[in-house]
Every structure is written in C-alpha cells, then in structure tokens.
Structure 1
Amino acid sequence: MKAFIFDMDGVIIDSEPLHFEVDIQTMSYLGAQITKEQLERFVGMTNPEMWALIKEEYGVTQTVSEIIEYQLSAKIRSLRELVIEPIEGIKELIHEIKNRNLPIGIASSSPRVFIEEVLEKFHIRHYFDCVVSGEEVNQGKPAPDVYLEAAKLLGVNPLHCIVIEDSRNGIKAAKAAGMKCIGYVNENSGNQDLSEADHIVQSINDININGLLNY
C-alpha cells in the first residue's frame, strides 16, 4: 500500500441521514413521495446521475439543475446547523496514516462545495493531498473514474491504493479501478451490499494500518 483514499459520506461524516432527509424533502417540494428505502440504491452516486434517474422514473417536470440547486442549498444549510463530529476513529486513522508519510485523498460523489464544507467544519482539509468530486469526472460511481483520478493526482498506481467505502456503488468503483477496498458497515447508510470489498469492518477503529501495509 502506498496511498489511502477515503470516500466521504458515511465514512468521514455520518451524513447519510442528512442526505435522506433532504432528498425526501426535495421530492415533496417536487410534488412526489419517496422513502428512505427507495433512496438507498442511489447511495454513492452523484447528484446529476441520481436526479436524472428519479426525474425519469417519477415524471418530475423540473430540470435536473433546478432540482440540485434546491437540494444542495438545503443540504448546506442543514450541515452548517448540524452539531456533529467525524465518525469515530476517523481522526485517529488519518493521523496514523500521515505519521507514516502516506498520501491521502478523498474521492466522493458529493459536489465539491459540499465536500469542502464538511472538511472545513471538521478542520481536516489540510490532511488531504487531493480531493476529487464525482461530478468532476466523466462518470460517477460505480464507474471507477473518481478513484482513478484521485490516484493520478496522488501520483500512485491504482494497484497500490486502498479505499474505505460504505456503499455498494462505491465498492464497485474502487474494485473497477483495481484498488483494494475496505467496506465499512454504517447502519445509517441503509441496506448496502459490501460483499465485493476485500475486507469488511464494523468500526473504523478496527482498521489495522500495519496489516494493510502488507497488502
């Protein structure tokens, strides 16, 4: 292992409840109803890809851009008001990786503005050598583009990167990029199939850096 790449939502911040709540509210604003369970299949996908599918399936009349403008504004307002800390064990894991002089990146499906809001809220932006949004590459997760771009920016062969993910779409993306992947079981991320991960943990504290160095 020569680099570590983090997903963000559900791995660094337990934000999926926020996403589910705002997305349900957004659907209500659009005149349609959707449940948390129906939204679970979109976890890990970018906003444009998710809303394009929902728009088609639910016959929503607003444009994808109009939907995202409403949704993203609501999410950022909610995030700024939220009293929340990083997921337990994340800060310690980041410190340990940096102490070993290994590069760290973020490859998230969230928009760049939301990623930066989270990192600034937790005062951890300076730890990351690169940040890539799934909206900045050709295809979002489960395509590998966002992880390949992160590896490129870190200057590390994808085969030497390890990813932490909490979603089925994210794990598929990491594996398609040729990377090793740790699946983190986050109950707030819904019913996610993590079976394609190389290793599954119930807690971030269960991640052993010494063991990973031998991958």
Structure 2
Amino acid sequence: MTDYIIFDMDGVLIDSEPIHQHIIYEVFQQQGIPFGKSYIETLTGMSALPMWEKVKCDSGHPATVEALVQFHRRYFYDRLPEIQMPIVPHVKEVLSLFQSQGKHIALASSSARNQIEFFTQQVGIHHYFDLMMSGDDVEYSKPNPEIFLKVAQWYGLPPEYFTVIEDSTNGVKAAKSAGMHCIGFQNPLSGGQNLSQADRIIASMSELL
C-alpha cells in the first residue's frame, strides 16, 4: 500500500451499482433497447458518453448519443430525491485510518461531478478527499487511464506512487494501464466483474484495516 490512495466511488465507497444498473434497465425499456442485466454489467465503470456510444452502436438505436445521454441524465435526476445510497461496510473506518496515517486520499469516478458531490455528502465522507476527479473532467472513460493520470498530475507525482481501489473490470484495466498499483474489491453487488489484473483482490473493505 502506497501513501497516495485513489478510490473509485460506485461499488467501492457506496453500494450504488444495483441502483445505477436498475435505472439503466428502466431507461432501456423506455427507449426500446433490448438488452438485459448481463449486458448492463459490462458497462460498469464507464462514464455516460462512451457508455451510450457503445449502447447505440450495439443496439442500432436511431436517437443521437447526446439525446440518449440527456434522457438518462434527466431520468436519473428525477429519481434522485428518493435515492438513499448505502455506504459500503467499513469504508468510514478505512478512510479514517488512512487519514490518521497521513495518507493522501483522492477519488476518481466516472460519475458526473454533481453526483459525486451529492453522494459523498449524503454518506458523510466528502471531507476525507484531497481531490475528486469526475467523468466530467476527462475526455476518455475507463478503461482508458486518463482519469488516474490526471490525479497523479494534480499531485505532481509519477503513477507508481499511487494505489487504486477499484471494483470493476474497466477500472482495474485503467489503473494498471496508468502504471499504478491496484487493489480489486470484489463487491458482489457490482456484478460479475473480472478483477484478475489487480495486484491484490479483497472481498471486504475490512481487509484494508
């Protein structure tokens, strides 16, 4: 474990993947896109634009990518007031421990910045992070390493100084492509993610204590 830790958010800090996947499934139904849960699991870790580019390409849907992104975004925000995201067990203890050890903690998520702000405030962990890098801050989504390299650039350090904690296939690929150490968190709520490229795999955040 290095002194600079980068956490993904969805599926690592908050157990949001089932909610996101269910909303995507509802959007698919409303848009007449004939894909189910197993397909949706392959989208885990991707930000909105590349996700909908892939869905449009795979489904041949006639709407523009921009229209699909906006429909999904409006649908999600209409539902937001009723959503109470559960925090992943032991996350607060881990963040508190790392902070007490003098580690530098960042968040790098493909989610939109306002979602990151909303949910980290909602579960009471916002104050632990030096930096929050969002899907709005990058051109390319995971598995591209851009988001992690931007975190390293912000700190002014080479990638090998960082440990990334990820729960998705795309996230692990991005971390390793960035040249960073990676811990794969096997969250059963994130679906059948392949974390085999990670340097270490954990089944509970308590293992980091």
My pick for the range that moved more, 66-75 or 44-53, is 66-75
Q: Which sections of structure 1, spanning at least 5 residues, go unmatched?
A: 209-215
Distance 2:56 2:162 in 1: 35
Aligned length: 208
RMSD over aligned CA atoms reads 1.4
Question: Quick one: which amino acid aligns to residue 131 of structure 1?
Answer: M
1:190 corresponds to = 191
Counterpart CA distance in 1 for 2:99 and 2:50 is 34
Tell me what 1:213 maps to.
none
Once the two structures are superposed, residues 136-161 of structure 1 have per-residue CA deviations (whole angstroms, 9 ceiling, x without a partner) of: 21211111100011122233321011
- Contact 2:16–2:86 (CA<8 Å) still a contact in 1? no
Tell me the equivalent position of 1:92.
Answer: 93
Contact 1:161 1:179 in 2 (8 A): yes
Contact persistence 2:16–2:85 (CA under 8 A):
no
- Answer whether contact 1:130 1:154 (CA < 8 A) is retained: no
Deviation readout 1:65-116 (Å, 9 max, x if unpaired): 2222221233334343233431001111111111122211111111112111
Alignment-derived partner of residue 68 in structure 1: 69
The alpha carbon displacement at 1:30 in A equals 1.1
Structure 1 stretch displaced more, 149-158 or 186-195: 149-158
SS in 1 for 2:42: helix
2:85·2:119 contact (CA, 8 Å) conserved in 1? no
1:64 shift after superposition: 1.8
**Could you tell me which amino acid in structure 2 is paired with residue 169 of structure 1?**
N
| 1:42 alignment partner, SS class | coil
TM-score normalized with structure 2 length: 0.94
Q: Give the corresponding residue for 2:52.
A: 51
Q: Distance in 2 between matches of 1:90 and 1:78?
A: 25
User: Structure 2 matches for 1:58-207, cutoff 5 A?
Assistant: 58-207=59-208
Inter-CA distance 157–80: structure 2 relative to 1 (3 Å threshold): farther
Normalised TM-score (structure 1)? 0.91
1:4-15 matches, cutoff 5 A: 4-15=5-16
Letter in 2 for 1:190: G
- 2:23 aligns to what? 22
Label 1:154 to 1:14 Cα distance change in 2 as closer, same or farther (>3 A).
same
C-alpha distance in 2, partners of 1:155/1:125? 22
Matched position secondary structure for 1:48 = helix
Deviation per CA, 1:109-144: give whole Å up to 9, x if none: 111121111112112212111111134212111111
Instruction: Supply the distance in 2 between the matched residues of 1:142 and 1:51 (Cα, whole angstroms).
Output: 15
Q: Which amino acid aligns with 1:185?
A: Q
Supply the AA of the counterpart residue of 2:148: Y
Task: Flag the 1:50–1:170 CA change in 2: closer, same or farther, 3 A.
Answer: same
In the TM superposition, what is the alpha-carbon distance from 1:34 to its structure 2 partner?
Answer: 1.6
Q: In terms of mean alpha carbon deviation, does 28-37 or 164-173 score higher?
A: 28-37
